[in-house]
Structure 1
Amino acid sequence: MPGWREALTASGVLDLLAGFDPRIAGTLPLGVSIAGSDIDILCHAPEPDDVAEHLWRRRERLCALNLWRWTAAGRPLVATFAIDG
C-alpha cells in the first residue's frame, strides 16, 4: 500500500497546483496522522478566485470537488476533493 508521498506523486496533484506554490501541511508531514487522515495542501494565491477557477476547470480529475469561499475580503478559499481514492 503506497504512503502519502507516493500517493501525491502518483496523483499529480502537486503539478496541478504548481502555479500556487503548494505546501503539504497537517498531521502527515508531522508524523502524527491516524487512520483516515487526509492530505492538507496549502497554496498561495493573491486572488483565491484564481485557484477556484483553476480547480473548477479540472473538476473531472477531482472527485467530489467542493469549494467554499468567505465573502469578507482576505478570507480563504477551502477546497476538498479526492484523486485516485
Structure 2
Amino acid sequence: MIYASSARSASSVASCLEDRLPHVHSSRDGNTTELSVGSRSDASYFVTLTPNGHGSVIRVTHGASASNDPPEEELRFDVARCTT
C-alpha cells in the first residue's frame, strides 16, 4: 500500500496518473476520485484521491489480480512524479 499527500489537487494528480499509467479507468464518488489500473474487470491497483484543505491524499492498494502490470516500482515512481 502507498499512502501520500500532495499539494496538488486530486484532479491534477488523477490527470497526471492517467497520462503516465497504462489502462487507467476513473470514476468519482462525491469528492473522491477513484482510479483502477489494469483490466477493468481485474485491476492490478486501485488509487483513491481525496481532496483535503491543502491539496489531496493519495492511497494506492494492490487489487486482487495476480497481475503486476505495471510493475510496482514503476507505479511508485509515477505516483511520486504526480504528487510533486
TM-score range, shorter chain: 0.3 to 0.5
TM-score, scaled relative to structure 2? 0.39
Larger strand percent: 2
TM-score, scaled relative to structure 1? 0.39
Considering only CA atoms, is the larger Rg found in Structure 1 or Structure 2? 1
Larger helix percent: 1
Q: Using CA pairs below 8 Å that are at least 6 residues apart, which structure has the higher relative contact order?
A: 2
